Amino acid sequence: MRDSTSDRSSPDERSGYASGEQAPEEEAEVIVVGAGPAGSSAAFHLAGAGVDVVLLEKSRFPREKVCGDGLTPRAVHQLIRMGIDIDSPGWMRSRGMRWVAGDHRVHIDWPSLGRYPDFGLSRSRHDFDDILARHAVAAGARLRGGVKVTGPVTDRAGRVTGVTAVAGGQERAVYRAPIVIAADGASARLALAMGLERDKNRQIATAARRYYRSAERSQDEYLELWADLRFPGSDHYLPGYGWIFPMGDGRVNVGLGALPHRRYGKADLRAALAQWLARTPHAWGLREENADGPVRSAALPLGFNRHPLYTRGLILVGDSGGMISPWNGEGIGQAMEAGEVAAESAALALALPQGPRRERALLHYPVEMNRRWGRYYRLGNAAADVVFSRSGFQPVLNRYVMGSPFLLRTLARLLADLTDKPSRDAIDHMLNTLVRLVPAPRVGRR
Ligand SMILES: Cc1cc2nc3c(=O)[nH]c(=O)nc-3n(C[C@H](O)[C@H](O)[C@H](O)COP(=O)(O)OP(=O)(O)OC[C@H]3O[C@@H](n4cnc5c(N)ncnc54)[C@H](O)[C@@H]3O)c2cc1C
């Protein structure tokens, strides 16, 4: 596998771009807006398919991104598909999850499946996004850092033919391509500019995280999740969970995410975090004096909350398409997988003449995304509405489930979407059948 971390020159330098030297107009076959996991993965797969792709990113790498930094086996699978060297230093492996609820504390190892690896990873997004962007550049993508996209360029028919941007802090630039991929994250500015509003019936979760220096917990083999957190100063369970993810570098990423409660509304996440951490053993070091940086929070668009995922030359991937799993709040692997599917659709479309045949290939993208996650997310959205947004994970992590290894394994695989298809064991059978019974959502078109 290629070592993507050995070259320490910035990806901007490698692509020959320096601040202030940006040409006012640039053309490509595909423009990708945003170099998070969705955008870099899309750009990598496009470049690998021989497509001329420009990747526009408003920040400069390396940069922070507010995240839990935890990767389940599905996300690891995407990294392996990209040829990222996950054996190089800096990647922290996890054997599974540790769930804490009340007096119960259980360990659930990642399952051994044919489709996915049996380990997870953690890596700070500061490094992770940089590695992915470099990988896309090494594959042939042209990364333009410090370029903030301001809006779409459209033709008379309202079809996207490029984007406008502000480069180098002030200079206006235009980037033109017949296909544009919006990977600009939860703000989804490009989608909004094309009239793609989010579904107001879908709840948006919020999450807050902070790094702590903790020699005691930094090398933990498990991703730890706490299901019994409460609203600050009250007995009501928080409709979410807390996490302690080992970073392997002397630090842990600690945070909590929650849906708005159906009755009590949004929780004060910072206060809830402080209240929770005060409960943790002093030896873990999760106290103010060991904090590495401030508490930072951001929104999590869940369960396909924006449609259609393709319209008039614009493809939505990752958070811009609301692709975070409503089951567990995980979005990195989903963003990468969607990036790969978008790249496949765009590469196929470009091999076809402009017109209806090309359009059909692009319209296949939402169909494929719906085939992969439509039913599973629909069920997850229902679970979020009916269960998680009222009582968090308490009802599912009850005494009975916590005492049954089989039920725990089943629940863990449901939450992290880990099954083989076709089914290979009883849990696969149960979960695959359950999801198949859910009516498929309609693919939105516009
Ligand atoms: C507190 C928190 C904890 C989380 N924990 C986890 C976790 O542990 N595991 C997990 O799998 N998921 C987690 N998530 C979700 C995960 O962070 C997202 O789902 C994921 O980052 C989505 O990737 P993306 O590429 O779609 O968007 P982003 O990662 O947001 O990337 C978007 C990129 O677009 C750029 N951009 C934005 N606007 C413009 C513009 N106008 N012009 C140019 N560039 C632009 C941004 O700078 C950014 O680089 C968490 C989220 C939060 C908020």
Q: What is the torsional sign of CA 70, 297, 214, 226? A: negative
| C-alpha 228 – ligand 1 centre gap (Å) | 27
Give whole-number Cα distances, 139 to 18, 87, 175, 326, 345, in Å.
Answer: 20, 20, 20, 32, 18
Q: Reduced to 3 states, what is the DSSP secondary structure of residue 51?
A: coil
Do the domains 204-300 and 1-90+123-202+301-446 match in fold? no
Give the binding-site residues of ligand 1, using a 6 Å CB cut-off.
Answer: 33-39, 56-59, 65-70, 75, 148-149, 183-185, 187, 189, 207, 209, 255, 298, 300, 318-319, 324, 330-333, 335
Q: State how beta strands 240-246 and 179-182 pair.
A: unpaired
**pLDDT mean over 416-440:** 96
Give yes or no for residue 394 having a pLDDT over 90: no
Homologous superfamily of 204-300 in CATH?
D-Amino Acid Oxidase, subunit A, domain 2 (3.30.9.10)
Largest CA distance in the chain: 65
Dist. CA 418–CA 110, nearest whole Å: 9
Confidence of residue 163 (pLDDT cuts 50, 70, 90): very high
**Prediction pTM value:** 0.94
Residue 317 CA, closest ligand 1 atom number:
26
Residue 147 CA, closest ligand 1 atom number:
43
| Tokens, residue 337 | 């997988």
Q: State the pLDDT at residue 83.
A: 98
Mean pLDDT of the chain: 92
**For 30-83, what is each residue's pLDDT tens digit?**
999 999 999 999 999 999 999 999 999 999 999 999 999 999 999 999 999 999
| C-alpha 66 – ligand 1 centre gap (Å) | 8
Place of tokens 């089951």: 327
| C-alpha 184 – ligand 1 centre gap (Å) | 8
Give yes or no for residue 22 having a pLDDT over 50: no
| C-alpha 310 – ligand 1 centre gap (Å) | 20
- From atom 4 of ligand 1, which residue's Cα is the shortest distance away? 67
Confidence of residue 170 (pLDDT cuts 50, 70, 90): confident
Dist. CA 326–CA 320, nearest whole Å: 15
Give yes or no for residue 15 having a pLDDT over 50: no
Give yes or no for residue 8 having a pLDDT over 80: no
Does residue 376 contact residue 323 with C-beta atoms inside 8 Å?
no
| CATH domain 1-90+123-202+301-446 topology | FAD/NAD(P)-binding domain (3.50.50)
| C-alpha 65 – ligand 1 centre gap (Å) | 7
Q: State the pLDDT at residue 442.
A: 84
| C-alpha 124 – ligand 1 centre gap (Å) | 12
Give yes or no for residue 135 having a pLDDT over 90: yes
Does residue 362 contact residue 315 with C-beta atoms inside 8 Å?
yes
Phi-psi map region of 248: left, alpha, beta (phi>0 left; psi -120 to 50 alpha) = left
Which amino acid appears at position 267 of this protein? A
Residue 63 CA, closest ligand 1 atom number:
49
Spans of all domains in the chain: 1-90+123-202+301-446, 204-300
Give yes or no for residue 446 having a pLDDT over 80: no
**pLDDT mean over 93-99:** 97
Give yes or no for residue 157 having a pLDDT over 90: yes
Q: State the pLDDT at residue 262.
A: 83
Residue 148 CA, closest ligand 1 atom number:
42
Q: State the pLDDT at residue 445.
A: 58
